[in-house]
Amino acid sequence: MRVNDREYTVIRPLPEGKTGLSWIVTDGQKQYVLKESYGDLITPEEQTRRQKLNYHQLEKAGIRIPALVDVDYARNRILKEYIDGDNVFELVLRRGLDDSIVLQLYDMSEKAESAGCNIDYFPSNFVLKDGQLWYVDYDTDPYTEEWNLENWGIRYWSRTPELELYLREYGTEFAG
């Protein structure tokens, strides 16, 4: 797969996300995540542009995110750093989460709210690496209380009725 003038080899696909398809790729030396945007509500071009803007908003807010490596507007692709850790959704299903992880999530939530946005709090969008929580998506929406951590996101960070309903409807394959 190409991103601008560089070729990458697919290692494996990641579960389909709301705004695009993603793969773990390599240039032969490092691994990355390559995301190709598609548009349901907006065009793929607009989605790719938003991903870059969101990245800068999240970075400025101090939210721990993978580095943005490259943007290919012609192919609607972004290339970002690969964070090799444990997917939080899988941790929730296997054993639950330590308080220190949830505290990091609340810290991210405060930073997002201060920046005027909500991040996608579904746990599959987070990776735990060396005890640090990473938001590995760049999707944001304007802040509203309805979709903040307290009123929506936290419901999926333990074996709540909402998570059990999700599992009955979609199974254990996590949504990205």
State how far the Cα of 40 lies from the Cα of 152, in Å rounded to an integer: 22
pLDDT at residue number 167:
92
CA dist 131 and 2 (Å) reads 33
What is the structure's pLDDT at 15? Answer: 87
Q: What residue type is 39 in one-letter code?
A: G
Confidence of residue 173 (pLDDT cuts 50, 70, 90): low
On the CB side of 115, how many CA atoms lie within 13 Å of its CA? Answer: 22
pLDDT in tens, 107-121: 999 999 999 999 999
Dig out the tokens for 45 from the structure. 């071009």
Cα–Cα distance for residue pair 135/114, rounded to 1 Å: 16
Q: Is the dihedral of CA 17, 21, 23, 25 positive or negative?
A: negative
How far, CA to CA in Å, does 41 sit from each of 16, 31, 136? 16, 30, 22
Query: Domain boundaries in the chain?
Result: 2-81, 86-170
User: In the structure encoding, which two tokens stand for residue 95, read together?
Assistant: 């054993």
In the chain, where does DSSP find H-type helix?
A: 44-61, 88-94, 99-114, 161-170
User: Residue type for 87, please?
Assistant: N
Residue listed under structure tokens 């070729």: 7
Instruction: Report angle CA 42, 111, 64 to the nearest 5 degrees.
Output: 80
Whole-model pTM: value is 0.92
Q: pLDDT tens-digit profile of 63-91?
A: 999 999 999 999 999 999 999 999 999 99
CATH code of 2-81, in short, is 3.30.200.20
